């Protein structure tokens, strides 16, 4: 039987083998990062000039700014990016980024440690730096949005005295995460909050949602009496009339994926770092994302940029290199 031509999604994906062919060594990967970051030629990350000496002999800082009077800094493509100060090679950065951006349930530092042949400590720092890529988007949501809260972490009574949080008693020592999802774009913003007292959810909503929007929430009483919004609470009681637009199914499925990963991948997310994991999952929630759907090949970008709901690897690397 004749094999069908690969579908659109198949063509958009890239295999692990192709990744290693793309980045066979550090020099290739470095060139790739340089091309992505400075498609119009190398610019000084400090002062912005394109008057650059490119053949500097320095082992790790191959460029030097020629704006000697005001700047004159030596730099590399790692400078002023999340790679700054890292001794890891470009090949590892490229491949780790691929692994982290194409795994639906994310990747644990243990797996990175085994797959990349770096120490677990290094892998842990690498993963945390990469997660910073996803921490940028400051945006507000409008239209119909879903707001919900969820609880993560162990029970307070099982913890050692030093580890107890003395947080909101209702949360039983678990971390409380508040989340908001835009119905149209499927985008989610979520963050750890101190408690579920009235002011906290209201502040979370006014920080993230434009006034005049329809806000669907669960039936937690703290959401009541919101000013400036069309608030619709979803009553979970049996027999309640359900308007098909008034639900928080999107947020609930976001929590489910995050909880599965929490259990299956990270095992234990410390309170200190939970915000980063949450941020990474905001990205994963974008509906069309699944393993292998994110093209990494540069020549796929045009195609990719036309796909609205997909996280573009160009954005990912753009953010990687921005900060």
Distance CA 43, CA 120 (A): 34
Give the shortest CB-271-to-Zn ion separation in angstroms.
40
| Cα 305 to Cα 299: distance, rounded to the nearest angstrom | 11
Question: Smallest gap, in angstroms, from Cβ of residue 84 to Zn ion?
Answer: 16
Where along the sequence are the contacts to Zn ion (CB under 5 A)? 44, 46-47, 65, 67, 71
User: How many other C-beta atoms are found inside a 10 Å radius of the C-beta of residue 306?
Assistant: 9
Residue ranges with strand state E in the chain: 52-53, 63-65, 74-75, 144-152, 175-182, 188-193, 214-217, 230-233
* Least distance to Zn ion, CB of residue 49, Å: 5
Please report where in the chains the tokens 């579908």 appear, as a residue. Answer: 7
DSSP 243-284: -TT---HHHHHHHHHHHHHIIIIIS---TTTHHHHHHHHHHH
Cβ contact 107:97 at 8 Å = no
Nearest to 22 by CA among 129, 95, 105, 118: 95
Q: How far is CA 99 from CA 125, 130, 244, 270, 312, in A?
A: 15, 11, 38, 22, 15
Q: Which is nearer to Zn ion, 45 or 250 (CB)?
A: 45
Nearest Cα to Cα of residue 156 among 259, 271, 260: 271
Closest CB 71 distance from Zn ion, rounded Å: 3
Q: Please say which residue, 66 or 132, places its beta carbon nearer to Zn ion.
A: 66
Nearer to Zn ion, 71 or 297 (CB): 71
Nearer to Zn ion, 65 or 193 (CB): 65
Chain-centre distance of CA 225, in angstroms? 32
| Rounded CA separation 47/66 (Å) | 10
Cβ closer to Zn ion: 71 or 192?
Answer: 71
Minimum CB–partner distance for residue 54 and Zn ion (Å): 13
Nearest-approach distance from CB 41 to Zn ion, in angstroms = 14
| CB 321, min distance to Zn ion, A | 16
- For β-strands 175-182 and 74-75, DSSP reports them as unpaired
Task: Give 67 or 103: the residue with its C-beta nearer to Zn ion.
Answer: 67
| CB of 49 or CB of 233, closer to Zn ion | 49
For Zn ion, the closer CB: 84 or 137: 84
Q: Identify the burial level of 272 via C-beta atoms within 10 angstroms of its C-beta, where 0-12 means exposed, 13-18 middle and 19 or more buried.
A: exposed
Provide the minimum distance between the beta carbon of 45 and Zn ion in the complex, in angstroms, as a whole number.
8
Count of helices and strands (H, E) across the chain: 11, 8
């Amino acid at each position: 039987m004749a094999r069908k031509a690969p579908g659109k999604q198949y063509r958009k994906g890239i295999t692990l083998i192709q990744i290693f062919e793309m980045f066979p060594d550090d020099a290739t990967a470095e060139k790739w990062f340089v091309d992505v970051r400075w498609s119009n030629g190398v610019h000084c990350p400090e002062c912005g000039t394109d008057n650059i000496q490119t053949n500097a002999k320095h082992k790790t800082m191959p460029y030097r700014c020629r704006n000697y009077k005001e700047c004159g800094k030596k730099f590399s493509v790692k400078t002023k990016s999340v790679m700054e100060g890292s001794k890891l090679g470009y090949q590892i950065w490229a491949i780790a980024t691929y692994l982290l951006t194409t795994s639906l349930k994310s990747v644990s530092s243990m797996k990175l440690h085994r797959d990349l042949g770096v120490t677990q400590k290094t892998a842990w720092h690498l993963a945390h730096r990469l997660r910073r890529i996803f921490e940028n988007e400051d945006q507000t949501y409008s239209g119909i949005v879903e707001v919900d809260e969820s609880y993560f972490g162990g029970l307070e009574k099982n913890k050692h005295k030093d580890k107890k949080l003395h947080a909101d008693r209702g949360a039983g020592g678990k971390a409380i995460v508040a989340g908001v999802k835009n119905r149209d774009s499927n985008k989610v913003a979520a963050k750890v909050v101190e408690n579920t007292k009235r002011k906290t959810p209201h502040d979370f909503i006014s920080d993230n949602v434009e006034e005049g929007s329809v806000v669907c929430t669960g039936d937690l009483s703290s959401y009541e009496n919101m000013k400036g919004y069309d608030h619709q609470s979803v009553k979970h009681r049996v027999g309640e009339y359900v308007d098909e637009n008034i639900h928080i199914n999107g947020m609930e499925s976001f929590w489910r994926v995050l909880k599965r990963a929490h259990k299956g991948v990270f095992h234990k997310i410390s309170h200190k770092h939970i915000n980063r994991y949450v941020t990474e999952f905001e990205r994963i929630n974008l509906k069309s994302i699944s393993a292998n759907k994110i093209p990494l090949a540069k020549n796929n970008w045009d195609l990719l940029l036309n796909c609205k709901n997909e996280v573009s690897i160009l954005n990912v690397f753009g953010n990687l290199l921005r900060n």
